[in-house]
Amino acid sequence: MGEIHAGTTSGVRVLDLSQFLAGPYGTQILGDLGAQVIKVEQPGVGDGSRGIPPHFSHGFSGYFLAVNRNKKSITLDLKQTQGHLKRECTMLGTLLNTATVIVGGTAGTFLRARFSERVRRMVMWGVGLVSLVIGLQMSLSTGNILIVLGSLLGGGIVGELAHMHEGLNALGELLQAKIKAEAESTFSKGFVTASLLFCVGPMTILGSIQDGLSGDYRLLATKAMLDGVSAVALAASLGWGVLAAALTVLLYQGGLTLGAGLVKTALTEPMLAEMTATGGTLILAIGLNLLDVTAIRVANFLPALLIAPAIVALLQVL
């Protein structure tokens, strides 16, 4: 056997994930021979061998110092999401919604037949039931139900004073009247009608924000189902203009999603949790509306999504 000299493992990088006996001793030898040994320890508490008696030097165990000489030390916290490598497509919900509008609009244009009122009603009920389930799951993420209550009360008051529900309706009517005044073609009518139907409403806003903040596109996926069926019915009577509304969906919802993603870094996990829970409560209201159980003006509660993180920030300061 050839003689082993110091520097034999020079240029070799070793990751030391061990704590006791054989592992630390083996990597100690590699370090003595020139390898770059990187020891991974738990954040806050460090390696378990740091406290092994009986011999201590400057607060460190003699054993720990002996077997970890010539090593570099780092900590790694796998419980925190910050710094993790993620591959999230925050636009997935919008892309799915755009695709269903295109597919539904194309199918409706060629079928040239409306769905019956009974079928449309069943679709609405199905979407309403799914919305209830999604809203319930999201609302349970709260760590303090009083924050959700305060957010809804404050947001509802602000929304009522600002007439947000009426404002959204007025905006839709204004856009439709403007287009009608400029062009009476079936294409224009189909484009405007479909754009308003697909983009004006709390489900669009809540779903896009949720997608941008957490990558959760379930609400937009539910909306995509509803929009796809609606696109079939609209395109059957209004033609190819309904397909053009897919561009409106892509730009509007995509903008909301990307905007939410940009502010995500400024929000802490408790803030995101309370925003999610507040949004889930509003989705519950949307589901009840779709089932014709209530007629809650959900748009007036949208300011609650901004109030929720503000309350969390205030409580953290206090």
Ranking 73-77, 243-247, 271-275 by mean pLDDT, the lowest is: 73-77
Mean pLDDT of the chain: 78
- Look at residue 74 in the predicted model and tell me its pLDDT: 80
Instruction: Map tokens 């900590």 to a residue.
Output: 75
Ranking 137-151, 229-243, 281-295 by mean pLDDT, the lowest is: 229-243
- Look at residue 3 in the predicted model and tell me its pLDDT: 54
Helix (H) / strand (E) containing 82: none
Average pLDDT over residues 41-58: 70
The closest of 231, 229, 239 to 109, measured between CA atoms, is 239
**Is the pLDDT score of 153 beyond 90?**
yes
Written as six digits, the tokens of 269 are 């996990």
pLDDT category at 149 given cuts 50, 70, 90 is very high
- Look at residue 86 in the predicted model and tell me its pLDDT: 44
Return d(Cα 104, Cα 230) in angstroms, integer: 8
Average pLDDT over residues 94-101: 92
pLDDT category at 87 given cuts 50, 70, 90 is very low
pLDDT category at 115 given cuts 50, 70, 90 is low
- What order of strands is seen across the sheet that includes strand 71-75? 13-16, 36-41, 71-75
Average pLDDT over residues 88-106: 85
Average pLDDT over residues 101-109: 87
Return d(Cα 240, Cα 178) in angstroms, integer: 20
Return d(Cα 148, Cα 164) in angstroms, integer: 20
CA atoms within 13 A on the CB side of 59: 0
Helix (H) / strand (E) containing 51: none
The Cα angle at residue 204 between residues 199 and 206, in degrees rounded to 5: 155
Helix (H, G, I), strand (E, B) or coil at 318: coil
pLDDT category at 114 given cuts 50, 70, 90 is low
Written as six digits, the tokens of 37 are 């040994």
**Is the pLDDT score of 136 beyond 70?**
yes
Helix (H) / strand (E) containing 16: strand 13-16
- Look at residue 120 in the predicted model and tell me its pLDDT: 65
pLDDT category at 84 given cuts 50, 70, 90 is very low
Average pLDDT over residues 91-120: 81
Highest averaged pLDDT of the listed ranges 109-113, 166-170, 286-290, 309-313: 309-313
Give the pLDDT confidence of 170-226 residue by residue, as tens digits.
765 666 566 555 445 567 667 766 776 787 666 787 888 888 887 888 889 888 988
Give the pLDDT confidence of 276-302 residue by residue, as tens digits.
889 889 888 888 987 889 888 888 888
Written as six digits, the tokens of 36 are 């770059």
- Look at residue 311 in the predicted model and tell me its pLDDT: 94
Ranking 49-63, 74-88, 243-257 by mean pLDDT, the lowest is: 74-88
Residue ranges of domains in the chain: 13-75, 92-317
